[in-house]
Amino acid sequence: MKPMKLFMASAMLMMGTAAMAQATYTDKDGNEYQFKKHAFLDLQGGAQYTLGEAKFGDLISPNVQLGLGYQFNPVFGMRLQANGWQSKGGWAAYRDKVGDAPFSADYKFNYVAPGLDFMFNLSNLFCGWNPNRVLNVTAFAGAGANIAWDNDEVNELAATMKNQNAYNLEYLWDGTKVRPYGRAGIELAFKVSKSVSLMLEGNANVVSDKYNSKKADNPDWYFNALAGLRINLGKSATKKEKPVEPEPAPAPVQKVEEPAPAPAPVVEKKVEEIRRDIFFTINSNKISEKENQKILEVIDFLVKYPEAKVVVTGYADKGTGNDRVNDRIAAKRAAAVVWMLEKRYGIPAERIIEESKGSRVQPFAENDKNRVSIMIAK
């Protein structure tokens, strides 16, 4: 049992290493996977070879195995399993003494061996966890109880033998026997879907020397070759899709603002200046009909140009009277024209500027023409 103790010690060391196993994976497309703890179910069947002296083919028997396990991290898992059906023993061409006819025999008995396996995914341990990996290699070691019964065939053979010890049948047993066993093995898991893998397993089992009823002074061994299915009971990983990078927004269209058209040049309407001289007789401010026609011409001008204003300036001739008299008569002449503009022809007062300069200013060289009111509209 020393090899098994060594294997179990190695297994405990690997358990410590497994606790630090990487549990995330990012694929080439940027999708991120996270390991998820999960249970699994094993359904397997195959054949067993029980180590013995008979021919190899005579020591082959059917074998099945049922397991229920739990994967704690990408590397470490545990499995409760029950393996069993038949084991065999025998010998080939044995002679009691020289000259005797060779005697060959084999026999079988039933057993079931429940136990606990410690499992280590070597692919994930050495290559990192990859949920999309097709092939995973797992080593395991475990122990349990081998429960054997129905050992009648070897007992019946022994009853016909003259010398049982010559055939090493010193550990004959009957009824039901429970013996501890240890085991180790390798399994190959071929992933066929997210939940199902095809399993190939080989395991070696060591048990008491009394197992096959023959004394060999060393433990008995049997080897199982199994195939079957592993079914994950729940998700073994979660997948986080790579976030879709938003497409860059199209560059904003630069709105080219057409320059505002230059304002049309303001063509100032040039107001024509109009001047009319309203003449009076000596010492009078009465406007004759003839002079009134000149006022009407100014009125037409003011109507045509609503912005225009008119300046009315009264004068007196210097050759008659004095400054005091001339100032009064010049003012009356200007007032007479302004009255006609406002009262008779309706020109607003704000468009009329009234002035009087007496005889101090003489607009004309001829004395009589200075008896005047000059109208300048513009």
Residue-wise DSSP of 106-163: EEEEEEEEEEEEEEEEHHHHHH---TT-SEEEEEEEEEEEEEEE--HHHHHHHHH-S-
CA distances from 341 to 19, 74, 312, 315 (A): 116, 114, 10, 18
C-alpha to C-alpha distance for 109 and 347, rounded to whole angstroms: 144
- Supply 214's token pair: 């023959």
Q: Does one domain contain both 39 and 94?
A: yes
**Does residue 279 lie in a domain region?**
yes
Between residues 376 and 256, which one has the greater pLDDT?
Answer: 376
Output the pTM of the full model: 0.60
Mark which of 222, 240, 258 sits at the end of a domain: 240
Which pLDDT value is given to residue 269?
56
Q: Classify residue 190: in a domain, yes or no.
A: yes
Same domain, 29 and 148: yes
Q: Cβ(180)–Cβ(191) under 8 Å?
A: no
Per-residue model confidence as pLDDT tens digits over 219-247: 999 999 999 999 999 999 998 877 666 67
CATH assignment of the domain containing 359: 3.30.1330.60
**174 contacts 189 by C-beta, under 8 angstroms:** no
Q: CA 373 to CA 279: how far, in whole Å?
A: 7
**More confident site: 32 or 97:** 32
Pair (281, 229) in one structural domain: no
Of 240, 262, 296, which residue sits at a domain end? 240
Please give the Cα distance from 83 to 67 (Å, whole number). 9
- Which residues on adjacent β-strands are paired with residue 42? 67, 230
Percent of the chain scored above 70 by pLDDT? 83
**Which residues contact residue 139 at a Cβ distance below 8 angstroms, ignoring those fewer than 6 apart?**
119, 120, 122, 184, 185, 186
In a domain, 255, yes or no: no
Contacts of 228 (CB under 8 A, 6+ apart): 42, 43, 44, 45, 46, 65, 198, 199, 201
Same domain, 84 and 170: yes
Mean pLDDT over the full length of the chain? 88
**Same-domain status, 302 and 168:** no
| Shared domain check, 195 and 54 | yes
In the numeric block, which tokens belong to residue 318?
Answer: 């210097």
Residue 164 has a pLDDT of 57
Please give the pLDDT value at position 294.
Answer: 93
Which residues, 6+ apart, have CB-to-CB distance to 312 below 8 Å? 334, 337, 338, 341, 352, 353, 354, 355, 373, 374, 375
pLDDT score, position 93: 61
Best mean pLDDT range from 53-62, 71-80, 95-104, 210-219:
71-80
- For range 315-331, the mean pLDDT: 91
Q: Looking at residue 62, what is its pLDDT?
A: 97
| Whether residue 15 is found in the same domain as residue 80 | yes
User: Is 371 a member of any domain?
Assistant: yes
Lay out the sheet containing 274-279: strands in order across: 274-279, 372-377, 310-314, 352-356
165 vs 365 pLDDT, higher one: 365
Task: For residues 97 and 102, give the distance between their C-alpha atoms in angstroms, rounded to a whole number.
Answer: 10
Residue range of the domain that includes 96:
2-240
Predicted pLDDT at 20: 53
* pLDDT for residue 244: 65
How crowded is residue 359: how many other Cβ atoms within 10 Å of its Cβ? Answer: 22
Residues 170 and 21 in one domain: yes
The total of structural domains in the chain comes to 2
- Comparing 11-25, 227-241, 309-323, 347-361, the range with the smallest average pLDDT is 11-25
What secondary structure letter does DSSP report for 241? P
Q: Is residue 216 part of a domain?
A: yes
225 assigned to some structural domain: yes
126 with 217, same domain: the answer is yes
* Residue 10: exposure state from Cβ atoms within 10 A (0-12, 13-18, ≥19): middle
Helix (H, G, I), strand (E, B) or coil at 76: strand
21, 151: one domain? yes
Percentage of the chain lying above the pLDDT 90 cut: 69
Q: Please determine, for residue 311, whether its predicted confidence score (pLDDT) is greater than 70.
A: yes
Residue 253 located in a structural domain: no
Altogether, the residues listed in the chain come to a count of: 378
Indicate whether 73 belongs to any domain: yes
Task: Report pLDDT digits (tens) over 5-30.
Answer: 554 555 555 555 555 567 888 888 88
Across the range 276-290, mean pLDDT stands at 93
203 and 98 co-located in one domain: yes
Residues 300 and 233 grouped into a single domain: no
| End residue of a domain, out of 240, 259, 282 | 240
72: CATH: 2.40.160.20
Averaged pLDDT for residues 341-364: 93
